[in-house]
Structure 1
Amino acid sequence: MSDYPHWACLGALCEFLPLKENRVTLADETDRHGIPVARFSYGQCDNDRQLMSAAQQVMEEILTAAGAEEVITINRYAHLVGGARMAATQDAGVVDRNCRSFAVRNLLVTDGSVLPTQGSANPALTIMALAARAARVLVQGARRGATMSAKED
């Protein structure tokens, strides 16, 4: 660690393709309270793996050209999203464009799970914008005295 001040770090922000096989479902197993446990299914397609490989190669070339004597690669993934994917219909996703659940009346999902892909950067601002839009839908509905579901507009 005596050389730590002389380290450099590069990271790639790669957008993976949305895969319908990637999902969160409920398992037959339950927790200690009798609630079904979430089952996460996640994989990458050939395009995702090729993208990560190309990004790694470019970053290693940059570091080597800058004089790096040793290059270490750590494969790390962040901002995985899409467990409650936003879509136009319930056959394609879990929530509508306003984050309203197709299945549960008056349920809005306002986190990263509604994003079909993670984009190429931290999704915090996008998530905040979606939550603000969902709040606006709630306020507008309350002013009309309505309870809204994804089947209504």
Structure 2
Amino acid sequence: MTDSPDPLVADHIRRFLETGGQPRPGISDLLLTTRGRRSGRLRRTALAYVRDAEAYVLTASAAGADRHPAWYLNLLADPAVTLQVGTGTFAAVARVATPAEAERLWPRVVAAMPSYAAYREATERRIPLVLVTPAPLEPAGATASAG
């Protein structure tokens, strides 16, 4: 697994691991692992999230940059991801929020991380929201082929 090459994100990952998933008091953080769309390597980044029922809502803000973050492009290519929330890790599936979902969720995202409002103003691109839900469990024996 390769951690983000961004020194700030790499430090965030280190603090997440050292604190059992609580690097920033009052902010919900998780670790997202995607598969690199070109390299095929597992790539890990730290992100803030809000919950919406069983979904973890992630904001592909790239701090207001005019390009999408690499983790977002990776999960578009392969939506099978891994999340670490606190000390627990589980397989999950990611999808981009629909426009109606994003409109409903955006105020909650900004309430949790007010900097996202400034990021939205700083870029002309639409900042996507991503819904990540635990992967369905396969029944025992589901991988065995019949016949």
Give the alignment's TM-score, normalised by structure 1: 0.24
Structure of higher RCO (CA pairs closer than 8 Å, 6+ residues apart):
2
Specify which structure has the higher proportion of strand. Answer: 2
Larger radius of gyration: 1
Give the alignment's TM-score, normalised by structure 2: 0.25
